[in-house]
Structure 1
Amino acid sequence: MEIQMKEIHKSFGSNEVLAGVDLELKTGEIHALMGENGAGKSTLMNILTGLHKRDAGFIRIDGQERYFKNAKEAEEFGITFMHQEMNTFLNMTVLENMYLNKELTTSIGLLDNKNMKKIVQGIFDELQISLNLDAQVSTLSVGQQQMLEIAKSLMVNGQVLIMDEPTAALSETEIANLFRIIRGVRERGVTIVYISHRMEEIFALCDRITVMRDGKSVSQYSVADVDVQQIVKDMVGRNIGDFYPEKKNPIGSVKFEVENFTSTPTFKDISFSVREGEIVGFSGLMGSGRTEIMRAIFGMDSYDTGELRLNGKPILIRQPSQAIEQGIGFLTENRKDEGLIMDFSLADNMTLPSIDGFTKHGLLEKKTMDDFVELLMKRLTVKAESKEIPVRSLSGGNQQKVVLSKWVGIGPQVLILDEPTRGVDVGAKREIYLLMNELAARGVAIIMISSDLPEVLRVSDRIIVIHEGRIAGEVGRDDATQEKIMNLATGGM
């Protein structure tokens, strides 16, 4: 399927999101669509699939102008959009998800489970996917759910598959498996639009790249003819300098300690410390227990035994409010369900943990709060029409900045960051790294969980590796390599 989108414009009220975008897709290619958060990538794909109507421009499919009324019509035509938040029904089985609203029936009107299973198993075998058709989707890993979404697109004879940040929550093994399946789908003549901020993935997987900036398409390249520096320059409109800024602050005395922390059967005997101004990276495979340890420290989950100490004094944390009172902030990996109240405004989300600081004699000091929010928006370069708009209307990267800003706002002593740059563009990533360095220079003790090994290696002062709920080892920054980290993460010495 050949697709040409030309001079596409789209505004929401007075906010111009697309200001003349050109995109050309060829049959059987993997085409990267890149740009900073808010550049308009998702809006462009939503116009292609009928979720939004364009204000100007045209779309041609195989030479004929064509516009879809909704996403269902686009899918029936062969164009499927796999959003970052997957469209699976967790309380239904794999088979039920595959045949939702298109079930096969026997001659007497009963569900033809035997034939449906045969067809789905054929697709799974072709893609080398191993899933139990009767398993509830809630029991699948995120990576397995991604595989299910791809298989669903082939069920409707998909010819164009749009994938938005498909590897954001996947382990290295799951990413490798996903890439194998994507390449296999391309061999069938399917065109893939691949939206990602991970440069290494783009250059390992894609054939061509279109770069968007500020609602416009600014360049298009064959992957073989361009380098990372040029792509970054096109995305941000300038040379970004050293992608991982140098951290120069001295590291002080021990700020936060965890001793013999246990929650059976998830993790056991976890002991570590973080110093003033130190960034300690936590690495490990998906399901190793990294996130669960931090959730328990912050009081989101329970634990059996263990002691927490802040500035040498024992503290008790059994719920998040107690952690916040102690000056501990936690940016969760699931920003939409746990980090934000999506219908609240930017301002309300940013000030929620520190709201008591804006009250005087029981009344909110609105001017002080507004100044505080505007300062944070400027410091974290949050792109938004107004601080009063619902946070759900922001791009994923700007939502992440809002979550981060609310914890910066409490003046933390300890800051736990779980996947702080997931789904964030290269420019915003560097801003987050700079902010982390700035907080460290103020003496904040920072714990960072990340599945991005280059990030862990370049940002952390020390790296603690978790394997099956235990600390497998600790590696200093100067001695750390990807091989050492992965060896520990998989149970090696």
Structure 2
Amino acid sequence: MLLEMKGITKFFGPVKALDNVDFTVADSEIHGLLGENGAGKSTLMNILAGAIHPTQGEIFIDGNRIEEMSITKSNELGIRFIHQELNLVNDLTVFENLFLGQELLTKGGFLDKKQMIARSAEVLKRIKLDIDPLTLVDDLEASRKQLVEIAKALLFESKLIIMDEPTTALTNKEIEILFDIMRSLKDHGLSIIFISHKMPELFEICDKYTVLRDGQFIDSGYFKDIDEQKATNLLVGRSIVDSQLVKEDVRGDVIFTAQSLTCKGYFENVSFDLRKGEVLAITGLHGDGRSELSEALFGARALTSGSITLHGKELKLHSIRQVMKAGIGMIPRNRKERSIIKDLSILNNLSIAYFISKHNKVFISRKEELERFRRNQKITDIKVDDPDNYITSLSGGNQQKVIVSRWLELDSDVYIMDNPTQGIDVGAKFEIYKLINELARRGKSLIIFSAEFPEIYKIADRCIVMYKGHINAQLNRDELNEVNVMYYATGSNSEGFNGKSVKKD
């Protein structure tokens, strides 16, 4: 057995994060570690990586008991941790990040930049990543930063790689490349611990699973012996039935219109209407202009031409504050870089949109802040001990719930949500889907940007499919299936970009 963790218990003050957990990984195995946010997955992996020490328990590598695991010792043992929250330095180049802390030196004691650049180019080529090693990391998209992190783990001799939500920012094509790399590593004798909330990915790439819930070991076995419903039940401790997500046709009059929106180099001539109580999904593949469109709809990216009207009045898009005051809220993608303010408390992170848009008093009332937090905590089920803690003290999923709550507090007429369930576990996703449906039932209108068809199908009344910056199709609810979406997302139709409601059987 490559890895054995026995009786791992961890206290953070009075809080028991792990309770007598056993976890094993065999040689040449891809092992899925499952659990909802706050289940203890990250704590267990940080103990394995030497970042924190267990209160009690033992770790064995290749049958040898490891005394006082540290980050240095973990690296020496061939354990590499690719974190969900990227650990790259934006102001350094790609090759400098790859060798950070393990730089190569010449015989004269100087940095051997030539050798480091060459080795960086080699490992980047290995994962089919066409990036110049001299590129500044700050100039890379989030998906490419994630692949650079993976390249860093492959650069040095490893026998066990921990991948924490590695596909969150990746496109479908990049995920395929990653899975090919993982299979190749397994064939060469390496083992991988794969942490993900995406069930289809877990079933596709993993051999075995271990489930944690509330800091306790729940079950372990082979994926071939269970199905997605069984896995979900193990995760949440109850049955979640998709049929509970009933789509009601509560759409009213058109309240929001985008007319001939163009942002040169990203998208062109995008037009659509949004009705009161409607959930409109916008999807496509990498490079389709979706992300830039979501920013433009909120006034965060300047348009080359076009206009947006809300309740019959043209929006002034030069001021995000004015867009918010007009009745539009936005949950952006990539919370680490675009949403959370890491130096502020959970309380302040939740309230900040309210401060900008609605607060009109001289002083901030702590009583009102706490009431605002408690009210939204009940809606989104934020798991937190003390709302005065920094937001970075929360798991990724609970951070996302704070961001969702931030915008719900504005009671906007239109909500733009760009990948709103990023980094959220299966149980919390289900709650977010119910929340989206409830907002629509109450007459709110929502534009959801997502690349996950199962998610789109659960929530959308209608779906716009983009291809290379154009609207390639608009699918009604009865036309909405994965075949149709992929057909138009890949540009397989020969009729061009007419933007009309179409159906491909």
TM-score, length basis structure 2:
0.92
Equivalent residue for 1:407? 407
Equivalent residue for 1:163? 163
| 1:279 equivalent in alignment to 2:276 | no
Look up the equivalent residue of 1:417 and give its one-letter code: M
Equivalent residue for 2:393? 393
**8 A Cα contact 2:259 2:270, kept in partner:** yes
Look up the equivalent residue of 1:279 and give its one-letter code: V
Equivalent residue for 1:291? 291
| 1:384 equivalent in alignment to 2:384 | yes
Task: Please state how far the C-alpha of 1:434 moved relative to its aligned partner.
Answer: 0.5
**8 A Cα contact 2:35 2:211, kept in partner:** yes
Bigger drift between 24-33 and 89-98 goes to 89-98
Equivalent residue for 1:63? 63
Paired residue secondary structure (1:261): strand
**8 A Cα contact 1:243 1:430, kept in partner:** no
| 1:215 equivalent in alignment to 2:215 | yes
In 2, Cα distance between equivalents of 1:151 and 1:361: 50
Paired residue secondary structure (1:343): coil
| 1:302 equivalent in alignment to 2:302 | yes
Change (3 A) 1:260 1:99: same
Deviations 1:445-487 (A, max 9, x none): 1000012122123321111112222212211121122222222
Task: Please state how far the C-alpha of 1:363 moved relative to its aligned partner.
Answer: 4.5
Matches within 5 A, 1:76-475: 76-113=76-113, 115-116=115-116, 119-120=119-120, 123=123, 130-242=130-242, 245-355=245-355, 362-475=362-475
Equivalent residue for 2:26? 26
Change (3 A) 1:244 1:61: farther
Change (3 A) 1:357 1:187: closer
Task: Please state how far the C-alpha of 1:340 moved relative to its aligned partner.
Answer: 2.0
Look up the equivalent residue of 2:222 and give its one-letter code: S
In 1, Cα distance between equivalents of 2:107 and 2:367: 70
**8 A Cα contact 1:236 1:427, kept in partner:** yes
Task: Please state how far the C-alpha of 1:111 moved relative to its aligned partner.
Answer: 4.6
Bigger drift between 148-157 and 434-443 goes to 148-157
Look up the equivalent residue of 1:8 and give its one-letter code: I
Bigger drift between 227-236 and 199-208 goes to 227-236
In 2, Cα distance between equivalents of 1:288 and 1:360: 40
In 2, Cα distance between equivalents of 1:286 and 1:315: 28
Paired residue secondary structure (1:39): coil
In 2, Cα distance between equivalents of 1:106 and 1:342: 39
Change (3 A) 1:68 1:238: same
Look up the equivalent residue of 1:80 and give its one-letter code: R
Contiguous gaps of at least 5 residues in structure 1? none
**8 A Cα contact 2:269 2:470, kept in partner:** yes
Look up the equivalent residue of 1:170 and give its one-letter code: L
Task: Please state how far the C-alpha of 1:133 moved relative to its aligned partner.
Answer: 3.7
Task: Please state how far the C-alpha of 1:4 moved relative to its aligned partner.
Answer: 0.8
Equivalent residue for 1:16? 16
Task: Please state how far the C-alpha of 1:98 moved relative to its aligned partner.
Answer: 3.0
| 1:46 equivalent in alignment to 2:42 | no
**8 A Cα contact 1:358 1:368, kept in partner:** no
Change (3 A) 1:336 1:243: farther
Equivalent residue for 1:3? 3
In 1, Cα distance between equivalents of 2:451 and 2:219: 30
Change (3 A) 1:114 1:338: closer
Change (3 A) 1:377 1:425: same
Change (3 A) 1:371 1:304: same
Deviations 1:138-196 (A, max 9, x none): 45454444443333223321111000101001111111111001111111111100000
**8 A Cα contact 1:171 1:285, kept in partner:** yes
Change (3 A) 1:95 1:250: same
In 2, Cα distance between equivalents of 1:95 and 1:370: 46
In 2, Cα distance between equivalents of 1:474 and 1:209: 39
**8 A Cα contact 1:358 1:364, kept in partner:** no
Look up the equivalent residue of 1:401 and give its one-letter code: K
Look up the equivalent residue of 2:271 and give its one-letter code: S
Look up the equivalent residue of 1:453 and give its one-letter code: F
Deviations 1:50-91 (A, max 9, x none): 111111111111222214553233112210100012233344
Change (3 A) 1:405 1:114: closer
In 1, Cα distance between equivalents of 2:148 and 2:361: 55
TM-score, length basis structure 1:
0.94
Task: Please state how far the C-alpha of 1:329 moved relative to its aligned partner.
Answer: 0.5
Aligned pairs, number: 493
**8 A Cα contact 1:94 1:135, kept in partner:** yes
Bigger drift between 309-318 and 96-105 goes to 96-105
Task: Please state how far the C-alpha of 1:201 moved relative to its aligned partner.
Answer: 0.3
Task: Please state how far the C-alpha of 1:122 moved relative to its aligned partner.
Answer: 5.1
Look up the equivalent residue of 2:407 and give its one-letter code: W
**8 A Cα contact 1:49 1:68, kept in partner:** no
**8 A Cα contact 1:127 1:184, kept in partner:** no
In 2, Cα distance between equivalents of 1:212 and 1:142: 29
In 2, Cα distance between equivalents of 1:191 and 1:487: 36
Q: Identical aligned pairs, as a percentage?
A: 38
**8 A Cα contact 2:349 2:402, kept in partner:** yes
**8 A Cα contact 1:48 1:68, kept in partner:** no
**8 A Cα contact 2:334 2:422, kept in partner:** no
Tell me how large the CA RMSD over aligned residues is: 2.2
Change (3 A) 1:287 1:443: same
**8 A Cα contact 1:255 1:311, kept in partner:** yes
